[in-house]
Structure 1
Amino acid sequence: MSAGTLTLTNSADAVTGSGTSFTTELAAGDFIVVTVGGIPYTLPVKTVNNNTSLTLVSVYTGPTQSGAAWSAVPRVALNMVTAALVAQSAEALRGLNYDKQNWQSIFSGAGNITIKLPDGSAWNGPSWNNISETLNQKASSGANRDITSIGGLTTPLSLYQGGTGGNTHQSACNGIGALQVNRNVLNAGDPHLPTCSFFLGDGQEAGGNGKPYPYSTILNVSESGNTGENGNYSQVSFPSIQESAPRIRQRFGGSSPRLTNWRDFLVRDLNTSVDTNGFIKIASPVVKIYADGSFDVNNESEGITVTRLAVGEYLISGCLGMNADAAWGGIDGGFDIPLDINKQPRIWLDYEVNTDGSILVKTYHRTHPQSPKFARNEIDNLTNGDPIDIPSDSFVSVRVEMPADSIWNQKQEAVHIAMVEARMKEERTDGNNV
């Protein structure tokens, strides 16, 4: 602070001092800095009259104040401050202009851009448009439905990342523990199956090529180390357009290779039936008759009806008598009746085949007087041979002969026609390609 105090008068350019030495501390063009009411004032000096009186360049605009402390600022010092302020302001304006240019590049540029940093260095990086385009192509959390490519990846994704860990078919299959299926499709009859493979054969041929069914799909499994016709393999055939059981055959290689015939799988309610005593038998066409006259049919006996006429009398309609299949014992063996726990028949059974092919099944009470008392099948008020309904906890199986126009036979005929038409179409196509 300078010596003494000042008295300032509002709207006056005269300043008086008390204990001041204006003539030694100030010269025209210097500045007085004084704080009045918390507000600093910088006042330029026009003339120094004496040690206690000076005149300002312009009138003082602040409130009248006496005893104010003050500081003398030489003109040269203030000019330096002003010059520094101008330089700093210019530098700040340049920085602001750089910022404007930078922001313009960031928001309107494409691809990578170069911006000016405050220290004067340059930085190269993506524009906002570039970032936005990249973000639009990223996989979002949750469901993703429109990912068309993943570029720039040279390392296969691991299982934990949703990949397979491999960059070839074989390594990908190994990564997820899967069998590799990249073999050419072979005909069922082709003996040259690939080594150690598991794959499907073709299923679009009308017949031939060793297939057990027309239009069937062949599942082939060959053993490790097989080569050519000397290998071991198994084939399972699944019919494509007809309702039949799958079939299996096997090839045994070596010095005397052997190929087995096709053998049926046993499929319940398709080519087998479970009789009233729980045994599996060759099925179709079979009718199951229950005590109240209700009944079940399988595929080949579809269209059969059963009517309970009286106690122990059941009329089977829609058939042509009994089926003579030897597997059921011939013409009179097409019945299965319920047995007790000692394998004794629980009923007698008789039947008549009417002229229209319908079958009247008759059931009678059956006792076993030669057996111990607990196993005689005695029922109060009934004697051996009395008419009786089929036991309510069981049923009677009857194997019948179906007419040529049965539902099953019509379906088989439709399949046959479809196969013939398909074969003719293939022959026409082959002829056009010659």
Structure 2
Amino acid sequence: MGLYKAGKIAISTAGAATGTGTAWTTAGTGIRTGQTILVNTNPAQQFTIQTINSATSLTLSPVPAAAIPAGTTYAILTTDALSVDGLGSQVAEAITYFKASLGGRAASGANSDITSLGGLSTPLSLEQGGTGSKTAADARVALQLGNAATATIGENSGNVMGSGSFGLGLQGSHAAFNLDTSPAMVSLLAPKGMVPFRNEANISGRINGTSPGIWIRTGGVFAYISVPHFDAGNVYISGGLIADGTPTSARMLYDNKNTTKASNGVLSAASPVARVVQSKSACLRPDIAEDSFEWCGDGVANSEARGIEIKRTAVGVYSLTGSMGFAEDSWHLKAPADPAGNGDLAIVEGEQAEDGTLTIKLFKKRYKLNEESGDIDLIPGIPMDVPANSWIDVRMEMPASKVEHKTDVAIETTT
């Protein structure tokens, strides 16, 4: 039997066959019209040669449903045997040949026998499970990976920081160092980043024990900020430059827990503190009971003044019970102020009884000519109630059992 299978073939949907490396017109090949040509597709396809146009061109029938790409193997049955048995033998031999050729190829659908794609020259797309790229750099671009994808984990320039770099995200214990050891503080071996520190000298009575801090080092000079810590309900921080091992003193942080906002919006250090009004129904200030303030009669008290009671007893006269009396340090009484910032709206006076009961009186402002000096003096006029758009601030001393120091201090409001 004769089989001609030199070169490769491509067939268009018009039945035009184009050969590569073929010699279809060469004498001795035995190729002629009417012969059968089998094409190595999956499944194999059979055509009849209608015309031989050149050594690389044939016209076939029937036409294929889809174009057969270049590089496809084929076989032409060139035997002269016309018997049915002979034709059957030829077809069987051709099928055996194509089975051998297809033996190393995976069928369509799910396959478990593919071990490599050595002949694949087109990268798989992202949709196909690939990257659509032939290089690692192009693959990172396709996957939208940035420079961190190629950076080494560490603390050097250009590296990606790992957990614990510069003390950030550090798990477990970390050796603390003393602020009192000057040589260690300025040495190049001193810690950098966020690290625990300890101050055995107990500077200002605020920094003690071991607490975390943020450190920035340039040569032998350090800048640092300590994490806030608490003492008697107040928050303290430390910070500054250290060049000789001596840190700066701790600073108190003023916030919405240890300051009060006066009726004109000015902040003052205060606690415990109360706000006195004519009555809850008469007060028009929506911020009268802000933050920790709660109503306690004809006024409100913050969390550290819980237990007091405020009562209006007459026009411009208010009684405050439950405290130990006015605060002895700094201010203790503020007149109602104009929320627009135009000064006090009245004159306030306070009296304290032996049991700590406070009597607060409010008067209209009155101006009188001082005949001796010629000045205009401001003096109390007739009693008046607290204006609806303001309040009286009172700062007191509270019994120790009623003081509730808070440690969950918000630090967003400072002065």
| Structure 2 length-normalised TM | 0.52
1:196 Cα deviation after fit: 11
Q: In the aligned structure 1, how far is the partner of 2:230 from the partner of 2:269?
A: 22
| 1:285 corresponds to | 272
Asked if structure 1 preserves the Cα contact closer than 8 Å seen for 2:334 and 2:392, the reply is yes
Look up the SS of the partner of 1:112 in the other structure: coil
The amino acid that maps onto 1:262 is A
Q: In the aligned structure 1, how far is the partner of 2:130 from the partner of 2:368?
A: 84
Greater radius of gyration (CA): 1
1:155 Cα deviation after fit: 11
Asked if structure 1 preserves the Cα contact closer than 8 Å seen for 2:153 and 2:160, the reply is no
**Alignment partner of 1:201 is 2:191:** no
Look up the SS of the partner of 1:405 in the other structure: helix
Change (3 A) 1:335 1:157: farther
1:79 Cα deviation after fit: 4.1
Q: In the aligned structure 1, how far is the partner of 2:101 from the partner of 2:380?
A: 117
Q: Structure 1, residues 151-190: CA drift from partner, whole Å, max 9, x if none? A: xx89996794256255223579747899994347453744
Note the 1:101-112 alignment, pairs <5 A: 102-103=105-106, 109-110=112-113, 112=115
| 2:386 corresponds to | 390
Change (3 A) 1:166 1:104: closer
1:401 Cα deviation after fit: 0.4
**Alignment partner of 1:192 is 2:195:** no
Asked if structure 2 preserves the Cα contact closer than 8 Å seen for 1:236 and 1:248, the reply is yes
Change (3 A) 1:352 1:384: closer
**Alignment partner of 1:226 is 2:219:** yes
1:405 Cα deviation after fit: 0.7
Change (3 A) 1:356 1:386: same
| 1:352 corresponds to | 351
Asked if structure 2 preserves the Cα contact closer than 8 Å seen for 1:350 and 1:362, the reply is yes
The amino acid that maps onto 1:400 is M
| 1:321 corresponds to | 325
Change (3 A) 1:350 1:107: closer
Unaligned 5+ segments in structure 2 are 1-78, 281-297, 371-375, 408-415
1:397 Cα deviation after fit: 1.1
1:248 Cα deviation after fit: 2.2
Asked if structure 1 preserves the Cα contact closer than 8 Å seen for 2:195 and 2:212, the reply is yes
**Alignment partner of 1:261 is 2:249:** yes
**Alignment partner of 1:274 is 2:258:** no
The amino acid that maps onto 1:212 is R
Change (3 A) 1:108 1:209: farther
Asked if structure 2 preserves the Cα contact closer than 8 Å seen for 1:156 and 1:164, the reply is no
Look up the SS of the partner of 1:87 in the other structure: helix
| 2:93 corresponds to | 90
Q: Structure 1, residues 361-393: CA drift from partner, whole Å, max 9, x if none? A: 12122212459xxxx999xxxx95322112222
Q: In the aligned structure 2, how far is the partner of 1:264 from the partner of 1:156?
A: 55
Q: In the aligned structure 2, how far is the partner of 1:303 from the partner of 1:398?
A: 14
Which of these residues, 206, 222, 229, is aligned with residue 212 of structure 1?
206
Higher strand share: 2
Q: In the aligned structure 2, how far is the partner of 1:96 from the partner of 1:156?
A: 38
Change (3 A) 1:385 1:163: same
Higher helix share: 1
Aligned sequence identity (%): 17
Which of these residues, 154, 164, 170, is aligned with residue 148 of structure 2?
164
Change (3 A) 1:248 1:171: closer
Change (3 A) 1:106 1:96: farther
The amino acid that maps onto 1:169 is I
| Structure 1 length-normalised TM | 0.50
Look up the SS of the partner of 1:235 in the other structure: strand
Asked if structure 1 preserves the Cα contact closer than 8 Å seen for 2:259 and 2:267, the reply is yes
**Count of aligned pairs:** 286
Asked if structure 2 preserves the Cα contact closer than 8 Å seen for 1:197 and 1:222, the reply is no
1:216 Cα deviation after fit: 8.2
Unaligned 5+ segments in structure 1 are 1-75, 115-122, 126-130, 141-152, 329-333, 413-434
Q: In the aligned structure 1, how far is the partner of 2:97 from the partner of 2:345?
A: 113
**Alignment partner of 1:298 is 2:292:** no
